[in-house]
Amino acid sequence: MIFELSVKSHKREEFINITSDIEDKVKESGINSGLCHIFIPHTTAGVTINEGADPDVLRDMEYGLDKCVPDEGQYHHMEGNSTAHIKSSIVGCEKTVFIDNGRLVLGTWQSVYFCEFDGPRTRKVLIKIK
């Protein structure tokens, strides 16, 4: 079963918590025990799992990625979004999370984030539940 989420970003770079949206799809699937595979079909976006309680963690992640991949550089891609492509590759475009008792198995502080690196845009997230 494949579900699709629509995610709208409002800034050039943004981490958007999609945990509850994914949990809704898990409930809708009726799967009690299995796997939830999250895939981002875009080359300038990604998905990560990290702390959902302290917003400073997300700010630090943005800061760290900006330090690793600065806007100024001798990039050749003509669209001007080379940093977004690089950050997407670093973060990755897929995650798999266990499902148990009809819920995502995440750590106490963990949340799932859609990572926008070339917004604002409307994007899609594909979710395979089995």
Give me the tens of pLDDT residue by residue for the chain, a chain 130 residues long: 799 999 999 999 999 999 999 999 999 999 999 999 999 999 999 999 999 999 999 999 999 999 999 988 888 888 889 999 999 999 999 999 999 999 999 999 999 999 999 999 999 999 999 9
Q: Is 15 exposed, middle or buried (0-12, 13-18, 19+ CB in 10 A)?
A: buried
Pick the CATH number of 2-72+79-129 from 1.10.1240.10, 3.30.413.10, 1.10.4080.10, 2.60.120.460: 2.60.120.460
Structure token pair of residue 47: 């998905």
55 vs 16, 17, 116, 128, CA distance in Å?
Answer: 11, 11, 16, 28
Residue that is written with structure tokens 């995502």 in the block: 104
d(CA 13, CA 36): 25
